[in-house]
Amino acid sequence: MDAGRHILPPGRALQSSRTSPVACVASPDLHEFREMLERAFVQLGHATLKPKDSLEAEAEEFAITARMETLTRELPVYFKMVGNIEKNWPRYFGYGFLFVFFVAYMFGCALLPQFEDMMVEARRQRYVRT
């Protein structure tokens, strides 16, 4: 790609138009990154989406998958750390904590878009009423 070509229009910032909760800071960046990748493939003539597919939905799925993949890549390191605990009961509690945290994190990643939508709708209703 030569220096004169831009994936984004000049002057456009990498910001999501959605208002997100503070805990969801990475989501808009991952979402925008997926949209940038799709635009780059379209410019190259090899779109990854069919005309009936929604770029918004695909970008959201990409953000969810990226967050989940981050934890699954790090999980073996945590299992090794817990495995190094010498006493049995603290090690069992460590494995239990890792399991509960892993399940909660995965559900959190999967349900994050719905949570964001609920927060945006609650904010919208608060401004409509006042």
d(CA 92, CA 54): 45
**Average pLDDT of adjacent 10-residue blocks, the chain of 130 residues:** 45 45 54 78 79 70 82 89 91 94 88 80 74
Alpha-carbon Rg for the chain in angstroms? 20
Listed by start position, the domains of the chain span: 22-129
Whole-number pLDDT of residue 87: 92
Contacts of 72 (CB under 8 A, 6+ apart): none
Whole-number pLDDT of residue 130: 58
Whole-number pLDDT of residue 18: 47
d(CA 102, CA 75): 8
Contacts of 115 (CB under 8 A, 6+ apart): 21, 24
